[in-house]
Amino acid sequence: MIKKVVFTLIVAIALLFFGGWLALRHHAEAVFEPDYWEATIQAFEEADAGAPPQRQIVFIGSSSIRLWEDLEEDMAPLPVLNRGFGGAHMSHLVHNAERIVTAYTPRAVVVYGGDNDIGSGKTPETIAADFASLVERLRSHQPDLPIYFITIKPSRLRWEQWPAMSETNTLIARMASADRNLSILDVSRPMLDLGQGEAPPDDLFWIDGLHLSEQGYAIWAEVVSSRLKADLGQMFL
C-alpha cells in the first residue's frame, strides 16, 4: 500500500514538472509571435476610448518603460504617454507601431527595446535590423519625427549577456550618427560606472536583478529628462 502511494506521488510530481516544462516551452516559443501582446494593445485602445491623446512624447518598450511609475513626474513639464508593455521585443514594437505610436501623432518617440530580445537568444544584428524597421515604419507617417533610443541597460541578472547588449547599442548608435532625428540616450554608461568594471550595484534593481529600483530610475530620469528638455522643450512652450 505504501509503495503504491509513493509511486502515485512520484507520478503526480513528474506530471506536474512536465506540465510546467511544457508551459514554459510554449511561452518561450509563443513570445516570438508578432501578436503575442495583442490583449495588451487592445487594452491601450480601450483606455483611449476612441480619442487617443495627441502630440505628446510617446515612450514605448518593455517592462522597463511599463514600470516607470514616475515617468510623468520625472519628465515634467513635458507631456508624455507611457505605452510600454510586458516583456516586449523590438519586433513587437515594429508590429504594433501604428497602434502604440502613430495613433497619437507624437511630437517625439522614446524607445527601449532589445533587453528581452538578447535574453531570448536574438543576435545584435537582428535587433538592430528590427529597430531600423521600426524607424522606417514610424517615419513613413511622420518623416521628421524625432526618435530617441534608450540604450539597453546592463543588469545583474543578464550580466553575462552584456557584451551582446553593448554590441547592439553600438550598432544602433551607428544608425543615429547618420540620422539627425535619431538620438541615443545612454543610460548604460552611468550604471556601468557605478559597477566599476563589474555588474551595476544591487540597489539599482529589484530583488530579481533585472527590473529597476527607484535608484535605477533616478539615473534614467536624469539622462532622459535633461536631453528631452534640451531638445524638445521649445515645442511645448
Reading the block at residue 189, the C-alpha cell is 554608461
The secondary element (H helix, E strand) that includes residue 187 is: none
Domain layout of the chain by residue ranges:
1-30, 35-236
Query: Which of 90, 98, 110 lies closest to 52, judged by CA?
Result: 98
Fold of 35-236: Rossmann fold (3.40.50)
Residues 75-89: tens digit of each pLDDT: 999 999 999 999 999
Per-10-residue mean pLDDT for the chain, 237 residues long? 52 41 39 90 92 96 98 98 97 97 97 98 98 98 97 98 98 98 98 95 97 98 98 84
Query: What distances in angstroms separate CA 108 from CA 87, 129, 148, 195, 224, one per listed residue?
Result: 23, 21, 8, 32, 13
The kind and range of the H/E element at 138 are helix 124-139
- CA gap 108, 194 in Å, rounded: 30
- pTM score: 0.87
pLDDT tens readout for residues 128-155: 999 999 999 999 999 999 999 999 999 9
**Residue 159: CB partners within 8 Å, gap ≥ 6?**
199
